[in-house]
Amino acid sequence: MSASAAIYGVSGEVLTPDEKAFLRDANPWGFILFGRNIDRPKQIVRLVNDLRDCVGWDAPVFLDQEGGRVQRLKAPTWRAASPAARFGELWDREPELALEAVRLNHRLLAQELRDLGIDCDCAPVVDLAIPGADAVIGDRAFHAEPGSVAEMARAALAGLKDQGVAGVIKHIPGHGRADADSHFALPVVREDHETLHNTDFAAFRGVADAAPMAMTAHVTFTAIDPENCATLSKDVIAQIIRGEMAFDGLLMSDDLSMKALDGTLRQRGERALSAGCDMLLHCNGERAEMVEVAHAAISLSGKALERAKAAEEARGTPAGLDVAATNDAMARCFAEAGLEAPAP
């Protein structure tokens, strides 16, 4: 029997007996780690191994390691990576140097993950930096111009892939101009379809063929579907994500426990799968919620199973990486453009 269409977080730095029993029974396709799961490298390696032992195979393990405000592996144990906007500043001076710096940065991020047994990064962010929008994206975005964002996102995915890590573009079809933080409320975007086609959607369209996975936005686009946010919208997923953007990789929901969504966790999961998501993401480690999601998470089959297999294969084998030399090369990219280099 194939794995269930779910990725779960867990509650702490070690698995409890109840968690082990649940995960063995639920048989999720993957796992995601957060700050509450992280202490020291050896502890993370043990936790990753224990998670995979629960399902009996080399299941994907995810972590959000973008750099800047969103990095679960933090200094001083790990590198304090720069936010995406720093690379956007470099792009405005020397685009080719920016692309090289993005690739090098994501090789370093991937190496840190792979050293711990983690093989999927919920990055890069492909949302646009939109003035006046809610600050939840902000400097997590590379740039305001969709072509620039797409080019840098492709470089980020290539850097991750070099070190055997599969990337997840987010938050498709675009969270950059949202008027609220979807962790706490449902954002609404009211721009017309033509505007979105040429801006937010264009950024994702420019990287869709290079991305093995994408994470949805809990954002309502009134021009496409005024009743449902993208995660729960058949119209957004079929017409925009699978149609206009031609994204054919694995589509996972953003975290089902976020307050942008209503209804029970089971209802949220069922609606997301019915709308066209391939995979359900649940992050907070609350077991009662996880049980509800498990009731919605059907076994992977058909096209969703094909996409999951392709995402598994996208993890690859890490190449050798000289960390010091890679840091130095990235610093030179900034220095050549007259910008202060990121801290190593």
Return the active site residues: 183, 254
Residue 171 phi, psi dihedral angles, 5° rounding? -115, 100
Measured distance CA(197)–CA(100) in Å, rounded: 28
**Joined tokens for residue 64:** 């959000």
Calculate the dihedral angle through the C-alpha atoms of 252, 307, 300, 72, rounding to the nearest 10 degrees.
-40
Long-range contacts of 238-242 (CB under 8 A, 24+ apart): 238/276, 240/173, 240/201, 241/172, 241/173, 241/204, 241/214, 241/216, 241/276, 242/276
Measured distance CA(333)–CA(190) in Å, rounded: 39
DSSP line for 162-193: HTT-EEEEEEET--TT-SS-TTTS--EE---H
The upper half-sphere exposure of residue 125, i.e. CA atoms within 13 Å in the direction of its Cβ, equals 28
**Joined tokens for residue 15:** 């698995």
* CA-based R_g, the chain, Å: 19
